């Protein structure tokens, strides 16, 4: 596997871990504000895990795909970004 792809996949996995940590931090702050509202913070944590799972899928795909040029890597990143934006937009519209 290409060294660029390995480093990029590791960076994407790290970003996913940071996303989970941020969502857990937000949920913890919400729980400190209202300790009896555990049912309100569980969806926050679940949303963070699902969002981070998208990053894990991207990292896995990046590891398995043969990306040899910056153009291929850029195309992959753009497609992943568009997918994430569309997914979050639909989720936001569905919560209304």
User: What is the predicted pLDDT for the residue at 1?
Assistant: 56
Question: SS3 breakdown of the chain: % helix, strand, coil, rounded to 5?
Answer: 85, 0, 15
User: What is the predicted pLDDT for the residue at 17?
Assistant: 93
User: What is the predicted pLDDT for the residue at 2?
Assistant: 73
Q: What is the pLDDT of residues 16-73, one digit of tens each?
A: 999 999 999 999 999 999 888 888 888 888 888 888 888 888 888 877 777 677 887 7
- pLDDT surpassing 90 at residue 94: no
Q: How many domains does the chain have?
A: 1
Distance CA 73, CA 94 (A): 32
For residue 40, what is the enclosing H or E element? Answer: helix 38-64
> C-alpha distances in angstroms, 58 versus 52, 71, 81?
10, 17, 10
User: What is the predicted pLDDT for the residue at 32?
Assistant: 92
Structural domain span for residue 62? 3-94
Q: For tokens 């857990």, what's the residue?
A: 24
């Amino acid at each position: 596997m290409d060294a660029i792809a390995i480093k990029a996949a590791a960076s994407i996995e790290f970003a996913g871990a940071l996303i989970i940590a941020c969502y857990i931090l937000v949920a913890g702050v919400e729980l400190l504000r209202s300790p009896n509202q555990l049912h309100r913070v569980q969806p926050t944590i679940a949303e963070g895990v699902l969002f981070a799972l998208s990053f894990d899928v991207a990292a896995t795909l990046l590891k398995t795909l043969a990306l040899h040029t910056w153009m291929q890597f850029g195309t992959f990143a753009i497609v992943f970004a568009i997918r994430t934006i569309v997914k979050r937009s639909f989720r936001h519209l569905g919560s209304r």
